[in-house]
Amino acid sequence: MLKQLMPYVTLLSLLVITTNCKQSTNGNHQDGLDEVKQPYALVIHGGAGTIRRGEVSEEKEAKYTDMLATVLKNGESILKNGGSSEEAVVAVIAMMEDSPLFNAGRGAVFTHDGYNSLDASIMNGDDLNAGSVAGVSKIKNPIKAALAVKDKSDHVLLSGAGADEFSIRLSLEVVDSAYFFTQDRWDRLQHILSEEKETGSINIVNPDDKYGTVGAVALDRNGNITAGTSTGGMTNKRYDRIGDSPIIGAGTYADNRTCGVSCTGHGEFFIRYHVASDVTKRMQYLGESVEIAASTIIENLEEVGGAGGLIALDKNGRVAMPFNTSGMYRGYVNADTLVTAIFGEE
């Protein structure tokens, strides 16, 4: 008799655990007990890494906080006035690509050969349509190139010179390579190259050189979710390396039935474990909340040596922003509140 009842006991246990799992509202996620559906919501990230209070100047902290808030307010304006989740995601990611603060677009890091190689992706949760580009170097806003691949081609992923050519044919804004130059990113590359020369090693990599990405997930008034991610990749990367950001299912995923996800971290791990889509599948198959699914995956990733974080937004507008590094630039906004955070204790 007990054996026959076991499936029901297991299901009841899961329901009890989920119901009693109170989640903090400290800027990392929202209260999981709040079942009120938000009319719209937006969550963003600007990369994860070794970001500790006291090691970041007050001036720099203020710049990031102000930028995160500005981006969120811009995205909220679009969603509040009836704009689509896709419009909001493209707009806010383009804003972060235009800022030298983030490793995407204008603030992208340099490859080993001293140029900028950019990746981006976008996915709609209503029809699972997606587009991405990898290794582009001429397009001002790679997220717009990813959108063009989704809407104007029969493909999902274009790369390198072909992706640049495709984008140029569609009249996307082209910039000279000098546009992407920032002194601190250049100096960082020179420091690594100098270390390589002194030691004879070609494997000198600071973990923080792997984690720079920007991303956004939005829910609009029609219940549609869109997720997007953009990055300059890894400092000193060689051999046309591509990380998780342009890989649908690894760095970006969206499904209206569950949630949208954008990742930031050591891309090889996010690719191997298909992190972005795994969040949606845990919600779909296990019945987990967005916060439990997202947090569990980031915890499991840390156990196998993967560092980074993700942002996720479910169909009711609930947010999760877990990470296993010391900090992650992040924030969310909905009809009730706006939150920004940087450090792990927030």
Active site residues: 213
Contact 213, 204 (CB under 8 A): no
DSSP 154: S
Distance between CA atoms of 80 and 91, rounded to whole angstroms?
Answer: 14
Q: What is the DSSP string of 12-27?
A: HHHHHHHHT-----SS
The continuous run of DSSP H or E covering 320 comes out as: strand 319-320
Distance between CA atoms of 34 and 305, rounded to whole angstroms?
Answer: 33
Phi, psi of 340, deg, nearest 5: -125, 150
Distance between CA atoms of 47 and 264, rounded to whole angstroms?
Answer: 6
Distance between CA atoms of 118 and 197, rounded to whole angstroms?
Answer: 26
Contact 273, 1 (CB under 8 A): no
